[in-house]
Amino acid sequence: MADLLTIAIDGPAASGKGTLARRIAAHYGLHHLDTGLTYRGVARALLASGQPLDDVAVAEAAARALDLAGLDRGVLSAHGIGEAASKVAVMPTVRAILVDKQRTFAATPPGAVLDGRDIGTVVCPKADVKLYVIATPEVRATRRWREIEANGGDADYAGILADIKRRDERDTARAASPLRPAEDAHLLDTSEMDIETAFRAAKAIIDERLASRANAE
Ligand SMILES: Nc1ncnc2c1ncn2[C@@H]1O[C@H](COP(=O)(O)OP(=O)(O)O)[C@@H](O)[C@H]1O
Ligand SMILES: Nc1ccn([C@@H]2O[C@H](COP(=O)(O)OP(=O)(O)O)[C@@H](O)[C@H]2O)c(=O)n1
């Protein structure tokens, strides 16, 4: 599988990892998977059918039934679904089912950019390049607030900031695949960067990593 290229992008909510992942995938001609949508897809299925978010057997069935090709970003990006997703994401068996699907996706030539919480540590530990994207909670809340307002929604900054902090806590404290940088991840703090600057910084890291790997071969 020497020809397969995998780029792992992890980070907390609204750090900009999805925006970066899409740009990077387009630039390098790779597939892209926002793995957050897979957890959101499971949560949405449970919410839509009125089922509890803490029943492991029910969540496992929803995870098994999930079709990666049918994930609708428009529906799944609703703010409330993120909170529900972080609840089903604590279940190790649900994670195992989704990680299997994510790895199958990553193995499709010519390779992929995957973004999430555990890509560099669990899903693709041998990824060619790993980025860990961060920004302060206040910057991230402002970005999410702007996003909701731009989409015509009614956003409450204090509520969004509280939600982001609660999700950070749940994602970093859980026993199964907690959010943390892989040892070989490159840290990218985008607090003071706009989207274009963050993309250039990420591209510089990736190009350098790919060049040093090519020189070593
Ligand atoms: N560097 C940045 N500067 C300003 N806004 C950004 C930046 N990166 C992303 N955004 C915006 O912040 C919001 C959240 O970004 P997104 O990529 O969805 O984050 P994540 O995937 O980490 O949740 C989006 O509206 C996006 O356009
Ligand atoms: N690889 C991943 C991706 C998401 N998740 C969970 O799914 C939730 C929603 O992820 P997301 O990436 O769509 O959330 P945002 O960062 O876009 O707000 C996160 O809070 C995590 O609990 C995960 O556990 N592992």
What is the ipTM, given to two decimal places? Answer: 0.97
Confidence of residue 2 (pLDDT cuts 50, 70, 90): low
Q: pLDDT by residue (tens digit) across 52-68?
A: 999 999 999 999 999 99
In a domain, 217, yes or no: no
- Say if residue 202's pLDDT is above 90: yes
Q: Report the nearest atom of ligand 1 relative to the CA of 12.
A: 22
- Say if residue 1's pLDDT is above 70: no
Find the domain containing 8 and state its range. 1-30+113-207
Residues 83 and 128 in one domain: no
Q: How many domains does the chain have?
A: 2
In 3D space, the residue among 113, 127, 116, 102 whose CA is nearest the CA of residue 30 turns out to be: 113
Q: How many CB atoms are closer than 10 A to CB 21?
A: 27
Average pLDDT, the chain: 95
Q: How many CB atoms are closer than 10 A to CB 55?
A: 14
Q: Domain ends where: 75, 109, 143?
A: 109
Residues 130 and 71 in one domain: no
* Prediction pTM value: 0.96
Q: Report the nearest atom of ligand 1 relative to the CA of 15.
A: 22
- 212 C-alpha vs ligand 2 centroid, how far in Å? 31
- Ligand number nearest to the C-alpha of 81: 2
Residues 147 and 198 in one domain: yes
In a domain, 103, yes or no: yes
In a domain, 213, yes or no: no
Q: What percent of the chain has pLDDT over 90?
A: 88
Cα separation, 191 vs 136, in Å, equals 6
Residues 194 and 138 in one domain: yes
Ligand 2 pocket member 117 (CB < 6 A): yes
